[in-house]
Amino acid sequence: NDILDGYVNLTLYVYSNGSCLDVIDNMILFITPPADVYAGDDAAICSTDTYTITDATAANYDHVEWVTSGSGSFNNPNLVNATYTPGSGESGAITLTITAHSNSPCPDSTDQMILTVSQPPQVFAGDDDEICEGSDYKLSSATASDYSSLQWTTSGTGTFDNSGLLAATYTPSPTDIIDGYVTLTLLAYGNSTCADSTDSMYLSITHAASVDAGDDAEICETGTYTLNGSAANHTSVLWSSSGDGSFD
């Protein structure tokens, strides 16, 4: 009850000798409660966000003060429910410490919470490229960082050997080959509250050349022969002979 009341009266009685009167005196002893502080539960955010420490509490204090083990800053370090902004490039486990300065003569009180700061994912699907039909394509130039997991998708109907692998291999489908191209998209899922990030690359699929020299034939030695050959998906053609004759 003394502590709840915040003070107590102390009385000193002095009993006199002989016929002298007894004497009495009083004093008041004030009882100050010590500060009590709670920094809040551990939390996680993206480096592009801010964090308001809404669950921090403090009692019986003169003033409070927040400090950080990182490079970020508080909107007001003397607010119990301050807002923390991560510093440039800050990531990992950051310790936020609150000190509640007690009213004299009580000692101060401190508490800490861990704020895990994650960087947003960075992703590059690779430069646009080209393959010949019948070939697979390994996505060896793709890069990604600060992600929790990856996912490749295609605008076509081909398949990946492992769609969650950064350097996955893509096998075009017959429809992809007919279309002559496909867009491959890499999705990087962000850590914590960081937003996901995507990037795409354009893969051209070139149709392979085909050729038919024509049926075997026969001519008289004094004659000439017009060749009825055919070719497709080519840039140029060139005839050659096992003999020493000539072409027009």
Q: Looking at residues 102-114, what average pLDDT do you find?
A: 93
3-state helix, strand, coil in the chain (%, to 5): 5, 45, 50
Residue 214, amino acid: G
Q: Looking at residues 128-138, what average pLDDT do you find?
A: 97
Q: What are phi and psi of 176, to 5 degrees?
A: -55, -45
pLDDT at 3: 64
Q: How confident is the model at residue 48 (pLDDT cuts 50, 70, 90)?
A: very high
173-192 per-position pLDDT tens digit = 999 999 999 999 999 999 98
In 3D space, the residue among 125, 136, 109, 120 whose CA is nearest the CA of residue 46 turns out to be 120
pLDDT at 2 over 70: no
Contact 95, 101 (CB under 8 A): no
Please tell me the pTM assigned to this model: 0.74
Q: Looking at residues 241-248, what average pLDDT do you find?
A: 92
CA distances from 245 to 200, 229, 248 (A): 53, 18, 10
pLDDT at 89 over 80: yes
CA distances from 200 to 6, 143, 160 (A): 69, 12, 15
Q: Looking at residues 141-147, what average pLDDT do you find?
A: 97
